[in-house]
Amino acid sequence: MNHRPPLSFDDTEVAFAYKSDAELRKANFIFTLVNHPWVSALATGALNVALRLRLPIEGIIRQTAFEHFCGGESIEDSEKVIAKLSEYGVGTILDYSVEGEKTEEGFESTMEEVLRTLDKAHGSKAVPFCVFKVTGIAAASLLEKVALGQTLLPEEEEAFTKVKQRVDTICARAHEYRVPVLIDAEESWIQQPIDALADEMMARYNRERAIVYNTYQLYRVDAFDNLMHDVFDAAQNGYFIGAKLVRGAYMEKERERAARMGYTSPIHPTREATDKAFNDALNFCLDHLDRVFFMCGSHNEYSNALLVKRMEERGLSPSEPRIWFAQLYGMSDNISFNLSGRGYNVAKYVPYGPVRAVMPYLFRRAEENTSVAGQSSRELRLIRAELRRRRKR
């Protein structure tokens, strides 16, 4: 008889087994900083100024936030993180996090780097997914013009044709290697062409199983309806849906823009409404596993526990290949490692890239941990509990 205790996200020994005492103390310092909004704002403001003045601060950043939230400056630099996560049953999603490219050469370079992540994932259980942002290979201004249905100039038509070719090149390589690839969601005003490209790629490459995954931001009022529509469309046309379910990453920006431009916010008005939409989407995907492969991309303990419970109720194995859990590297280790310890499919988003180029990503992580109610204090509580436990050994 199995007397194993129920799954708990409060087991800090399991959550932080992969971190040394020094790494845990560094995590304590970082989350203590972001747990105080005014200190965090002051620190990020000072870093922004220092970066603009090109002061030699990259070493400090590398030894603190970069090392905590990122794998390294290259795929090769990230090998140690990949190996360490794999040792504990957690996969790596290599996320090339360089932003702000604005030239065709820059877009081509980013596409080539995404292809290198696919080369790395090919045949490696340690790297079960790859990921890319369409704004890494396309100008946001061009995507916005397409989303608005505006007539493109001839050079813009040519540029958009190249965007579609880049997306297809990445997805074709993923299909060849049988490595699933996640297309990240972005702001609502550029999301329509991204969704259209994802739908086209899924119809082309998801005939045998889900290779291409689109991302559904459930804080958007229309996201659950879009998910249902896509699943029914896939069923009618004989392909599979890959769905990465997230709550969303641009709430403040979305609401501010809607207020400034005088249109109805596309974001649910309350956290409760977003939570309901997310959990409804989990249940919907479970109800349509004949057509859906999905990833629960959440730092919310309740949603992860709910999915575990629903899988148990359906008699699904923790290692069910159509279902994955994912969190960001450097966050929610209590969720990731306790799930992987029970045999669930878990992966961490592991950003990488040159320190200076990855700074916008790191600033967003600091902002997110400061603005999401309880996020940094929860991380801090768990880290400090594990430090106390280790001192008593």
* Domain map (residue ranges) of the chain: 72-357
Q: Model confidence over 299-344: pLDDT tens digits?
A: 999 999 999 999 999 999 999 999 999 999 999 999 999 999 999 9
Selection from 18, 142, 161, 145 nearest residue 90 by Cα: 18
Q: What are phi and psi of 353, to 5 degrees?
A: 150, 170
Segment among 60-69, 75-84, 159-168 with least mean pLDDT? 60-69
Mean pLDDT of all residues in 56-76: 83
Segment among 150-154, 178-182, 236-240, 248-252 with least mean pLDDT? 248-252
The answer to whether 370 and 40 have CB atoms below 8 angstroms apart is yes
Average pLDDT, the chain: 91
Assign 32 a pLDDT band (cuts: 50, 70, 90): confident
Instruction: Inform me whether the pLDDT recorded for 373 exceeds 60.
Output: no
Mean pLDDT of all residues in 238-267: 94
Q: For position 101, what pLDDT does the model report? A: 75
Biggest CA pair distance of the chain: 70
Q: Model confidence over 177-213: pLDDT tens digits?
A: 999 999 999 999 999 999 999 999 999 999 999 999 9
Mean pLDDT of all residues in 42-71: 70
Q: For position 367, what pLDDT does the model report? A: 63
- For the whole model, what pTM was predicted? 0.93
Which CATH fold would you assign to the domain 72-357? TIM Barrel (3.20.20)
Mean pLDDT of all residues in 378-392: 93
Q: For position 371, what pLDDT does the model report? A: 47
Mean pLDDT of all residues in 22-33: 89
Instruction: Inform me whether the pLDDT recorded for 290 exceeds 80.
Output: yes
Assign 152 a pLDDT band (cuts: 50, 70, 90): very high
Q: Model confidence over 99-116: pLDDT tens digits?
A: 767 899 999 999 999 999
